[in-house]
Amino acid sequence: MSPLSQNGPYARAVLALGSNLGERNDTLSTGVADLVDRPEVRLIAVSPVVQTKAVGGPVGQPDFLNMVIIVETSLTPLELLRHCQAVENKHLRVREVRWGPRTLDVDIITYGDVVSSDSTLTLPHPLAAKRAFVLYPWSLVEPAAVLNGEKISELAVKAADFPDLAPFDGFGDFDGVPTAGAV
């Protein structure tokens, strides 16, 4: 059996969502709703939203809003990947520049215990263990979680982007620019 095929009725998956263009907070909310709209995807947990500087990619990008959701799914990893990409496309995701600005980015961080170096979908996500914008929100909803043999909370504080994380208060949700009501 391929590591990217389904092994049982439901697998637990961790998905990371990010947005740094447009109405970022609204995009994350509707993105979560779109991801769990299919009966094959059940929502288990939703992290708080954090604001971060862009990591990698072009200089001068707006700040990102990031969050993590935990789902149970009967989709195979590749079916889940196609579903995540369809949700990104629904939110007008454009892939012109690697790590460039985007309306919605959805990454599969883990899928059960699957380990795969497949060129289409590498699991666990190869950069997740170094990204506080993934690890920290994840640790808020699953504090005991482990990635690559280490607690995600310990990985988060060691990540280079950890000092740039900030709680998101719901204001300034258009391209990182404060909107009405922001202080």
* Whole-angstrom distance, CA of residue 182 vs CA of residue 72: 36
Among 24, 34, 63, 102, which one carries the catalytic annotation? 102
Among 34, 63, 107, 173, which one carries the catalytic annotation? 107
- Name the β-bridge partners of 172: none
User: Which CA distances in Å does 146 have to 14, 135, 138, 165, 173?
Assistant: 12, 10, 10, 21, 31
- Catalytic annotation on 37? no
| Residue 42: how many other CB atoms lie within 10 Å | 14
- Catalytic annotation on 24? no
Among 93, 131, 161, 173, which one carries the catalytic annotation? 93
Among 34, 105, 161, 173, which one carries the catalytic annotation? 105
From the list 10, 76, 65, the residue with the least C-alpha distance to 43 is 10
Q: Which residues, 6 or more positions from 130, have their beta carbon under 8 angstroms from its beta carbon?
A: 155, 159, 160
- Catalytic annotation on 118? no
| Residue 179: how many other CB atoms lie within 10 Å | 12
- Catalytic annotation on 102? yes
Grouping H, G, I as helix, E, B as strand and the rest as coil, residue 109 is: strand
| Residue 124: how many other CB atoms lie within 10 Å | 18
Q: Which residues are catalytic?
A: 93, 102, 105, 107
